Structure 1
Amino acid sequence: MHKISALALLTLSASMPVLAQSQSNLTVYGILDAAVRTQSGLTAGYAGAPNRTSVVNSGVGPTSRWGLRGQEDLGDGLKATFNLESTLGVDAGSSGSAAGFFDRAAVLGLAGNWGAVTAGRQNTLVADAVIPTDPIGMRFAGLNPNIQVTSLTGHRLGIEYGATNTNAASNRVNNSVKYSGTFGGLTARAMYSFGESAVSSTRQDSKGLGLNYTVGGIVVTSAYTQFHDANGLELDAASIGGAWSTGNLRLMLNYGRNQGDTTGTTQTTNKVLSLGANYAFNSQWSLNGGYYKVDRERTGLNDDGFTRLIGFLDYSLSRRTKLFLEMDTTKWKGNYQGAGNKARSSGLSLGVTHSF
């Protein structure tokens, strides 16, 4: 069914270009990323392991995806906007995820001088806030702590907080309404996701606020989001960060924290401190690296966590295609990686990214 749906949408967009351009400026876009990788102490899914593995993975660079987006001018500065986006797995030819076919975005909205309102499945404000300040530019989703932990893409709590279609992630929520407005250098954001539960309006809902400030080469981001599960357990998440750009250099710093009720009497708290830099030597070569420190506290259990270094050397073949060499090393603390697995992990990847 997923393949049929994708084929139908692509056929429609290809066979009706004039209509699409005149009415809604339809754009088909995407990113394809694939890498050959050798690693020690990690599985193909980047969990702890006792040995060395070699894999072909998609998303060592940016997450592979495809989507449809566009807008229609309604007059007087008002526009209708839409976006549908699905994860791609280049290594296995897959599309979508357990969360749905258009797992990354399915939104419809209105935009004007007053800002924009969108409704559907979309990023939480915490997930939005960390994008400008992540040290490696939100690459390597499976290993990046700001994606996995700060943005709650892999919270490891085993509970569906918010209406997300999965008990593994809370970075995107269904049934949501989001407002974003920029006034000068200040951007204010607010979001609410209806749990749509017959039991209570506070079951599987989420709500958040965010504030960004941009001046010159400086950007400061912040956001807070609160979630509930089907039984009323609460998960609170926050992120604050900053980035500074001058010439070919960009420096990034971010701090994320979340705390989730795992039962009526137990909690798990995660803290992520990250910092890094990106330097472009010229129009083709650039170097990007990030340091991440993750600390976890759990009721009745010993504290644990890890520190991780991730670096990329990029070579642009064209505006849309680049080669990259990625290196990473992880030092686990307190058996976070699991019993019997290596106390240190490392990896080396050689890949290519193409945007369309």
Structure 2
Amino acid sequence: MQAKTAAMVAGAVASIALTGQVFAQSNVSIYGIADNGVEIINNASSAANANNTLTRLSSGNLSGSRLGFRGNEDLGGGLKAVFILEAGIGLDTGTSLQGGRMFGRQALIGLQGQWGNLYLGRQNSMMLEWMSKYNTMDNATWSAKVHDGAFSDRMDNAIKYTQKFGAVEMATYYSTNYNGQESSDSAKVGRQYGLGLQYRGEGFGMAALYDQKQGTTLATKDNADKHLTLGARYKFGKAEVLGGYLTRRQQALGVADVRTNMVWIGGSYQITGPLQLSASLYHTDRKNSNQDPTSVIAMAKYALSKRTDLYLIASYASNKDNASQAQTLGVNGFNSNVAAGKNQFGTMAGIRHTF
């Protein structure tokens, strides 16, 4: 009996040890960002008054608030299986963002190896993954995406491939329908694809990306929204300079093409260990129109620790007096809480914690 018991115990210990070895090959982590603050903007439009001052809590000002799960498994021979499930959360209301999706920021699985990285699922376009990094505000609420929402693009039903060659990285992606279900009616409906190159050297980086979207219905399948974006950054000492150029062409059947060019430049400086100051200037030139808005965004960020920081951001959006509502730029984007033809000033202060 004692021998049988000893054998059972030895078997259980061996089983636990084997299980531990299996788990040791896998790595799963939970991570997130909690970011919330107060936003105040003037000349905010409403049904009753076009000159309101709007004060509200605003989530994800500096970084989108999120809860994520990330993992990988070593398959041997330099090959890994990876996954990301990342949910966007509005801390002001506790609701799911990205249209109410459970994992609206990212939901993907893939393989990584010496041959490159292949990902399948809902994921960032390279406008978000790369090009938003070439302005001082990254993908903050007030950033380059105020002038062009493509800087914050995510894609449903997407396949992405990336590969690095030293300091050079290439990426290409294709979505069978970037914002919904695939269509059997046409090979064009809802398609999105892109191709880019990036160089990240010591203190210097630059990237170029072409991105194109087709219309999301059978009637608009031949409509196209095309972006060609260039960005560069240079860091020296405690300072960094960032800038870029974007040219966009929107094509729709039966109407003239809409062409816009956007330029931006900015910089940041680490005043002390915890205190950083930064500012950016953005300008959009809409061809065959004099309604060309400009915005300036400045920020002071103070790190209380490696995980928690305070921030104060100010933004000013300048428009022509005769700008239509659709072409009026507010601090939160075109036709967003701003009265037609008005300039707008806004400020936000908040706290961000990462874990």
Other-structure match for 1:267: 257
TM-superposed CA distance for 1:283, in Å, is 1.6
Correspondent of 1:206 among 192, 197, 217: 192
Larger Rg: 2
**Map of 1:241-252 to 2, 5 A cutoff?**
241-252=231-242
Kindly tell me: are residues 43 and 182 of structure 1, through their superposed partners in 2, closer, same or farther at Cα, counting changes over 3 Å? Answer: farther
- Alpha-carbon distance change, 50 to 280 in structure 1, aligned in 2, over 3 angstroms: same
* Amino acid across the alignment from 2:274: Q
- Identify the match of residue 156 of structure 2 among 174, 181, 196: 174
Q: TM-score, normalised by structure 1?
A: 0.82
- Which of residues 304, 308, 320 is equivalent to 1:321? 308
RMSD: 2.4
Aligned match of 1:11: none
Report what 1:235 is aligned to.
Answer: 225
Kindly report which structure 2 residues correspond to 1:12-161, keeping only aligned pairs within 5 A, or say none. 22=24, 24-42=26-44, 50-98=51-99, 100-140=101-141, 143-146=142-145, 149=148, 151=150, 153=152
The answer to whether the aligner puts 1:291 opposite 2:291 as a matched pair is no
Q: CA deviation at 1:21?
A: 5.7
Q: Deviations over 1:292-345 (max 9, x none)?
A: 1122347xxx44231111111111111000011111111113413269546211
Q: CA deviation at 1:116?
A: 0.4
Contact 2:170–2:196, Cα closer than 8 Å, also in 1: yes
| Long gaps (5+) in structure 2 | 1-19, 329-334
In the alignment, the residues of structure 2 paired with residue 295 and residue 314 of structure 1 have an alpha-carbon distance, to the nearest angstrom, of: 30
Cα deviation 1:27-72 (Å, max 9, x = unaligned)? 111111111122212469xxx9522111111122111111111111
| Percent of pairs with identical residues | 28
Q: Check the 8 A contact 2:43/2:339 in 1, yes or no.
A: no
Q: State the one-letter code of the partner of 2:344.
A: S
1:186 to 156, 164, 168: 168
Could you tell me which residue of structure 2 aligns to residue 305 of structure 1? Answer: 292
Distance 1:107 1:328, change over 3 A: same
Offset at 1:95?
1.7
- TM-score, with length taken from structure 2: 0.82
Distance 2:21 2:294 in 1: 52
Structure 1 residue 205, shift from structure 2 partner: 1.1
Paired residues, number: 314
Deviations 1:120-154 (A, max 9, x none): 111122332313312222222xx32336506254x
Unpaired runs of 5+ residues, structure 1, are 1-17, 154-170
Distance 1:308 1:57 in 2: 20
Match of 2:206 in 1: 220
- Cα 1:122–1:114 shift into 2, 3 Å: same
1:90 Cα deviation after fit = 0.7
CA deviation vs aligned residue, 1:209-265 (integer Å, no higher than 9, x gap): 000012221100111111111232111112101000112111100112222224432
CA–CA distance in structure 2, aligned partners of residues 256 and 349 of structure 1: 27
Distance 1:81 1:54 in 2: 42
Residues 281 and 197 of structure 1: is their aligned pair in 2 closer, same or farther, counting only changes over 3 Å?
A: same
